[in-house]
Amino acid sequence: MTQRITVTHTHGTRISVAAAGVELMAYVYRPDPDAFEARKPYAHPLRTLAGNPVSGYRPNDHRWHKGLQMTSSHLSGQNFWGGNCYLGPEKGYQRVDELVGSMRHDGFEEFTVTDDRLRFVETLTWVENGGQEWARERRTIELHSVEPEEGTWALDWSINLTNIRGEALHFGSPTTAGREMAGYTGLNWRGPRDFTGGDVIGPDGRGGDGEKGASDLMGAPAADAPWVAFTGEHDDVDGHSTLLFAHAPENAESIHASHWFVRSEPIPSVAPSWAFFEEFELEPGESFGYRYRVVVADGAWDRARAENYLKNHGW
């Protein structure tokens, strides 16, 4: 049986969702103060039903990493990821403030709360550093399936992005710019520091323990590995938590094939990258969409537990 939820909307700032006295998620849509970190909405903190934190915020190695957030590290020369820009093998990473874009919250088309589900549809504008509006986004977020007996809850996050620039938008990553196996872009999760060295598994025997598992899944095509699970052990409490990241079936028909960006060392991070190895174009007026599910669970999951959850919780 699903647990009742409580939703608190601090208008103009954040949305908080709690169950049984535990804040499971806060979605912050107020712009951050530092433009260098690529102002955009993010979900943090994320917590399990037991109250254990499973997201990191502004870690000292990457101040622009904020829980779970939609990003684009290389978009027609602009950086909507935040922080230093990768300028190619010869120049490497450099601080170039005028290349860092932002995502502006414009409003909510829909905001629905029931006893056990939150669903909202947010409209955003992707703005390059000089103020030009490049893309309109329609983002749908649903928090649901809060199940105390299973120790789980689920978050569905979808994006529909339309090019309003007037010329083609080019989506890439550091790898498409010349850095090997650094294809991060798209929906990105940064884990808490105590998840460093965590275990990563995928379907069909993929993955293993710690960095070995992450290395096995790094760059894996979503067509072969539609889900990835990341388990970490907490510092302050005796226990583990698991996050399960999954592609919706329709993502296979989207504009460009996705691959997994997965790290356990030196940082815990997962992103279903939409432009890992190759750039893709979005022509003026055209749109693309992706939908993902993130399951937050108490305990250390194995492959069978992850597969059973996905089998029993349809899209």
Type and span of the H or E element at 270: strand 269-273
pLDDT tens per residue, range 113-157:
999 999 999 999 999 999 999 999 999 999 999 999 999 999 999
Using 50, 70 and 90 to split pLDDT, how confident is the model at 82? very high
How far is it, in rounded angstroms, from Cα 85 to Cα 302?
37
Whether this model's pTM surpasses 0.85: yes
State the Cα–Cα distance between residues 5 and 27, nearest whole angstrom.
15
> Among 110, 125, 158, 126, which residue's Cα sits nearest to residue 254?
158
Residue 225 has pLDDT above 80, yes or no: yes
CA angle 107, 184, 146 (to 5 degrees): 55
* Position 209 pLDDT exceeds 80: no
Alpha helices in the chain (DSSP H): 210-217, 303-312
Reported as a single tens digit per residue, the pLDDT across 250-268 is 999 999 999 999 999 999 9
| Confidence bin at 308 (pLDDT 50/70/90) | very high
Query: How many helices (H) and strands (E) would you count in the chain?
Result: 2, 22
Residue 210: predicted pLDDT: 62
- Ordered by where they begin, the domains of the chain are 5-313 (2.70.98)
> Distance between CA 164 and CA 124 in Å, rounded?
12
